């Protein structure tokens, strides 16, 4: 899919200023496309844009080809202990690395709904059904690029990504994922390429726009445009459109083993420049089970935001008849899928958060791996446990402690990591093992110390404290203690 194209050999996309600059339509799918089949070279068309009879044309660029970012993979032969009853979860080493070996005890707000778009090869089987081990999936939207409206995944790439993001756990079949079926997280597969046909930047752009218009909060982009193409105004605009609508785009860093700062790859490198830098995109590289950069993975100490597992990843595979099929895949495609899952979990817990806040939280919660400092920003590797539970650890009162009523008691806590948004916390008290809560303070600095004097009416053998960052839904509850 990465063959170089000659300027005069392919039709060229022309976009009118009316829609490209997000006018009344405010929708990239409404962009007017004109395919000129005259004997124009790309240079000819670029010189015509904005002048004479072509004055309504904003820009002109080649419809670049796109390649997916998965490699053939084999089992690693190493087992991981998990609390899930899924029989193949033992082959899912990333669950342990990411701290996701058991169901979460955290709970999203009531009615939370998060859509993760997989802009890729589709997801449906030939009969229109979905792999039996994949969670909730949205219907095929009307804005799906028309040539791929069937949504059938004949290549298998989209199906592999879907299992990595949201395979059903504790259903006694296949594999597990970090995404619970009860959290209101669903997948929206937007198909923009087909086996045996070249994937293009135009369809990738319209697919991203379609996903955003369907309410996606996360877009997984596990592919890249041919390296020779860098003038990708339409694709960059689609990603900026997503950011403007509160949607985070997660892009794979690439599988060439090269430095993205010396050899840029797109869309991954869009995330390193404004306005997307830190605000609308996360670029992801791959590591193995030992937190070593995968040999094939692209990298960039200033351009790649975070690392995630990407070697020997057990996931859902294509199948025609039961039982469901599973396979291993390798590549930064898989790494991006894990980060998309993490973004979905954080959005589910905090529906009102912006992409910037989710990016800030995921990167703050990441583990710092010394050996990755020259490979990605800060040497950060995704940690889902810390992202889901937040940074706070209650240090006092300890489990079983007795606090005398009428005497000042010390409430103490620590932070596993620093999220700059978590400057203040609320503290609540329960005397009935967490059934009801009474505020001790609606807001206090997140400095790890608060003094409180329990009253006679607070006496109980079932006391608990709860500390919650004001900026996020990450409450932490203490063990039981006594007030005597």
Stretch 54-77: mean pLDDT? 69
What's the token pair of residue 292?
A: 């070593």
Residue 81 — pLDDT band, cuts 50, 70, 90? confident
Q: Picking from 39-53, 149-163, 228-242, 432-446, which range would have the lowest pLDDT averaged per residue?
A: 39-53
**% of the chain beyond a pLDDT of 70:** 86
Q: What pLDDT is stored for residue 1 in this prediction?
A: 34
What's the token pair of residue 56?
A: 């309504």
Q: Could you write out the three-class secondary structure of the chain?
A: CCCCCCHHHCCEEEEEHHHHCCCCCCCHHHCCECCCCCCCCHHHHHHHCCCHHHCCEEEEEECCEEEECCECCCCCCCCCCCCCCCCCHHHCHHHHHCCCCCCCCCCCCCCCCEEEEEEECCCECCCCCCCCCECCECCCCCCCCHHHCCCECCCCHHHHHHHHHHECCCCCCCCCCCCCHHHCEEEEEEECCCCCCCEEHHHHHHHHHHHHHCCCCEEEECEEECCCCCCCHHHHHHHHHHHHCCCEEEEECCCCCCECCCCCCCCHHHHHCCCCCCCCEEEEEEECCCCCECCCCCECCCCCCEEEECCCEEEEECCCCCCCEEEEEECHHHHHHHHHHHHHHHHHHCCCCCHHHHHHHHHHHCEECHHHCCCCHHHEECCHHHHHHCCEEEEECCCCCEECCCCCEEEEEEECCCCCCCCEEEEEEECCCCCCCEEEEEEEECCCEEEECCCHHHCEEEEEEEEEECCCCCCEECCCEEEC
Q: What pLDDT is stored for residue 40 in this prediction?
A: 64
What's the token pair of residue 187?
A: 């997948």
pLDDT in tens, 236-269: 999 999 999 999 999 999 999 999 999 999 999 9
pLDDT exceeds 70 at position 316: yes
Q: Is the peptide bond before 460 cis (omega within 30 degrees of 0)?
A: no
Cα-based distances in Å from 33 to 20, 55, 274, 338 = 11, 15, 27, 35
Residue 80 — pLDDT band, cuts 50, 70, 90? confident
What's the token pair of residue 445?
A: 């600095």
Q: Is 108 exposed, middle or buried (0-12, 13-18, 19+ CB in 10 A)?
A: buried
pLDDT exceeds 60 at position 448: yes
Q: What pLDDT is stored for residue 198 in this prediction?
A: 77
- Domains contained in the chain, CATH given: 7-62 (no CATH), 67-388 (3.40.50.200), 390-483 (2.60.40.10)
Residue 228 — pLDDT band, cuts 50, 70, 90? low
Nearest CA to 241 out of 7, 30, 5, 11 is that of 30
Residues written for the chain: 484
Highest mean pLDDT among 6-15, 36-45, 50-59: 50-59
Q: What pLDDT is stored for residue 72 in this prediction?
A: 63
**% of the chain beyond a pLDDT of 90:** 80
Find out whether 256 and 263 touch, Cβ atoms under 8 Å. yes
Nearest CA to 460 out of 428, 479, 439, 433 is that of 433
Pairing of strands 438-445, 424-430: antiparallel
pLDDT exceeds 50 at position 12: no
pLDDT exceeds 80 at position 73: no
Q: Picking from 47-51, 294-298, 471-475, which range would have the lowest pLDDT averaged per residue?
A: 47-51
Q: What pLDDT is stored for residue 65 in this prediction?
A: 72
pLDDT exceeds 80 at position 45: no
Task: Tell whether the torsion through CA atoms of 339, 341, 346 and 351 is positive or negative.
Answer: positive
Place of tokens 């490699």: 71
Q: What pLDDT is stored for residue 47 in this prediction?
A: 73
Stretch 134-160: mean pLDDT? 96
Beta-bridge mates of residue 118: 189, 220
Find out whether 461 and 482 touch, Cβ atoms under 8 Å. yes
């Amino acid at each position: 899919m990465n063959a170089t194209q000659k300027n005069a050999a392919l039709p060229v996309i022309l976009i009118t200023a009316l829609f490209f600059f997000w006018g009344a339509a405010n929708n990239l799918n409404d962009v007017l496309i004109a395919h000129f089949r005259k004997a124009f070279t790309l240079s000819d068309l670029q010189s015509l844009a904005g002048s004479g009879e072509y004055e309504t044309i904003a820009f002109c660029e080649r419809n670049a080809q796109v390649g997916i970012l998965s490699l053939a993979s084999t089992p690693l032969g190493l087992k991981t202990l998990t609390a899930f009853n899924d029989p193949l979860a033992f082959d899912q080493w990333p669950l342990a690395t990411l701290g996701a070996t058991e169901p979460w005890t955290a709970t999203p707000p009531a009615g939370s709904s998060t859509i993760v778009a997989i802009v890729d090869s589709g997801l449906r089987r030939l009969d229109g059904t979905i792999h039996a081990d994949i969670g909730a999936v949205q219907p095929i939207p009307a804005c799906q690029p028309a040539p791929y409206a069937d949504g059938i995944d004949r290549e298998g790439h989209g199906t592999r990504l879907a299992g990595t993001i949201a395979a059903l756990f504790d259903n006694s079949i296949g594999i597990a994922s970090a995404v619970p079926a009860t959290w209101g997280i669903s997948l929206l597969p937007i198909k923009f390429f087909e086996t045996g046909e070249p994937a293009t930047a135009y369809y990738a752009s319209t697919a991203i726009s379609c996903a955003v218009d369907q309410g996606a909060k996360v877009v997984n982009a596990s592919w890249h445009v041919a390296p020779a193409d860098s003038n990708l105004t339409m694709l960059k605009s689609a990603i900026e459109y997503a950011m403007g609508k509160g949607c985070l785009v997660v892009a794979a860093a690439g599988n060439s083993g090269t430095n993205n700062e010396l050899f840029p790859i797109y869309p991954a490198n869009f995330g390193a420049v404004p306005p997307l830098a830190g605000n609308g995109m996360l670029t992801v590289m791959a590591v193995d089970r030992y937190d070593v950069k995968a040999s094939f993975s692209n990298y960039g100490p200033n351009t790649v935001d975070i690392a995630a597992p990407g070697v020997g990843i057990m996931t859902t595979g294509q199948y025609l008849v039961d039982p469901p099929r599973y396979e291993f895949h390798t590549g930064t495609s898989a790494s991006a899928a894990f980060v998309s899952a993490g973004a979905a979990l954080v959005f589910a817990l905090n529906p009102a958060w912006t992409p910037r806040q989710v990016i800030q939280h995921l990167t703050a919660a990441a583990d710092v791996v010394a050996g990755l400092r020259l490979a990605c920003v800060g040497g950060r590797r995704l940690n889902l446990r810390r992202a889901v539970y937040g940074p706070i650890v209650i240090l006092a009162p300890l489990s079983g402690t007795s606090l005398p009523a009428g005497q000042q008691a010390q409430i103490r806590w620590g932070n596993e990591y620093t999220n700059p948004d978590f400057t203040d916390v609320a503290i609540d008290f329960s005397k009935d093992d967490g059934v009801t809560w009474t505020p001790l303070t609606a807001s206090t600095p997140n400095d790890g110390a608060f003094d409180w004097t329990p009253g006679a009416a607070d006496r109980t053998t079932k006391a608990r404290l709860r500390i919650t960052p004001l900026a996020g839904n990450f409450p932490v509850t203490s063990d039981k203690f006594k007030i005597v």
